[in-house]
Amino acid sequence: MVSTTTLGGPAKDVLVAKVGTGLMLLTWTRTPLPDEELFEVLKTAIDAVPAGSKMLFNSAQFYALDLGTGNLELLARFFERYPLYADRVFLTVNGGMKNKMEPDPSPEGLRASIEKCAKALRGTKKVDLFQNARVSRLTPISEQMKVLKGFVDEGLIGNIGLSECSAATIREAVQYAPITAVEIEISPWAYEAETRNVIATCAELGIAIFAYSPLGVGFLTGELQFPLKDWRNLVIRYRDEHRDKNLKLVEALKVVAQKKGITAAQLCLAWTQALGERIIPIPCSTQTSHVLENLQSSDVKLSSDELVEIDRILAKYPVSGERFWEEHNNSLQLWG
């Protein structure tokens, strides 16, 4: 049985699976799988959720190699095939970007982004939560939030979220519009001081957190080899000068997982969930077996002794290297 939790803000009564589903890698690839295989992945995630609750799907305006709406178009085809599944999904969408992944938080840019997403979905599903993929100050936060609140009132979107934001930005944003959720990276190798600040702030304000890359884009599972042209090879922490150091962290976590009789992936997901009642990891997989493995982590309870042991491991083997890669880190602000 997959455990559930509630979202925050205006959606505080919405029940969702304690582990959601990230969708990026379904379409951000040179060799996407056929629709039939991807549809099985989506169905597997939704079917695992108890009656009366929803599966959280995390998509974006730009989850494709051409930065187009391929991910949303995949969902449109899925919901056209299986229309009864639409109401069983809470769909969150990252947007607010121009074609070259440049933030555009202007009122015109936000409307264009939302309309582009709606067009890609072809009326099959409403965007339950929309968020700017990155915080930009090109337009004041106050104006951005007021514009998004207006879109909620118009019925264009259901809820407002924030992504890759600082605790200070969250406190600023809630003065102008209710925030349902915040999306940040959380995992045993993405647990910085500001991560803790955001977690504490969201707990105080009753905001849910979507934890993206909870498995370190695969590194924390121990599965380290990707195709030569896979974008994950760009990540600084995968490079030779950092990989061996980070492998020590992975191996130590695998020992804890083996003692508990679970996989390293399930350990990382359970640890992330243990950080807060409304922290929802959103791992991505194109294999139904891994989807089920990830969802089963919602029933894994870590003891206080196990959490202390993991804390000791994180202190002993600090992460080596920055998140993402140089161009990304320079152009798209982290902790905005």
pLDDT at 240 over 60: yes
Number of other CB atoms surrounding residue 46 within 10 Å: 19
Give the pLDDT score at 88.
Answer: 99
Give the pLDDT score at 241.
Answer: 73
Q: Where are the domains of the chain?
A: 4-216+264-301
Instruction: Specify the CATH superfamily of domain 4-216+264-301.
Output: NADP-dependent oxidoreductase domain (3.20.20.100)
Among residues 63, 85, 191, 212, the one annotated as catalytic is 63
Q: Please name the amino acid found at residue 228.
A: L
Query: 241-263, pLDDT tens digit by residue?
Result: 777 788 899 999 999 999 999 99
Q: Report d(CA 71, CA 127) in Å as an integer.
A: 13
> What's the residue count for the chain?
336
Query: 178-221, pLDDT tens digit by residue?
Result: 999 999 999 998 999 999 999 999 999 999 999 999 998 788 88
Place of tokens 């202390």: 308
pLDDT at 325 over 60: no
Whether the Cβ atoms of residue 221 and residue 281 lie closer than 8 Å to each other: no
Whether the Cβ atoms of residue 74 and residue 108 lie closer than 8 Å to each other: no
Whether the Cβ atoms of residue 134 and residue 332 lie closer than 8 Å to each other: yes
Confidence of residue 229 (pLDDT cuts 50, 70, 90): low
Number of other CB atoms surrounding residue 250 within 10 Å: 21
Question: 85 catalytic, yes or no?
Answer: no
Q: Which of 252, 248, 261 is nearest to 311 (CA)?
A: 252
Sign of CA dihedral 307, 308, 309, 314: positive
The residues, any chain, with a CB within 8 Å of residue 8's CB and separated by 6 or more, are 179, 180, 181, 202, 205, 206, 207, 208, 278
Whether the Cβ atoms of residue 160 and residue 110 lie closer than 8 Å to each other: no
Whether the Cβ atoms of residue 111 and residue 150 lie closer than 8 Å to each other: no
Give the pLDDT score at 247.
Answer: 85
CA 141 remoteness from chain centre: 22
Rounded to two decimals, the pTM is 0.94
pLDDT at 278 over 90: yes
Give the pLDDT score at 329.
Answer: 46
φ, ψ at 152 (rounded to 5°): -65, -45
Q: Which of the 8 DSSP states describes residue 90?
A: E
Q: Report d(CA 173, CA 144) in Å as an integer.
A: 9
Query: 38-63, pLDDT tens digit by residue?
Result: 999 999 999 999 999 999 999 999 99
Q: Are strands 181-185 and 208-212 parallel, antiparallel or unpaired?
A: parallel
Query: 88-110, pLDDT tens digit by residue?
Result: 999 999 999 987 788 999 999 99
Query: 114-172, pLDDT tens digit by residue?
Result: 999 999 999 999 999 999 999 998 999 999 999 999 999 999 999 999 999 999 999 99
Give the pLDDT score at 245.
Answer: 82
Give the pLDDT score at 216.
Answer: 87
pLDDT top residue among 222 and 199: 199
**Helices 70-81 and 107-121: angle between axes, nearest 10 degrees:** 40
Q: Are strands 4-6 and 279-281 parallel, antiparallel or unpaired?
A: unpaired
Query: 17-40, pLDDT tens digit by residue?
Result: 999 999 999 999 989 999 999 999
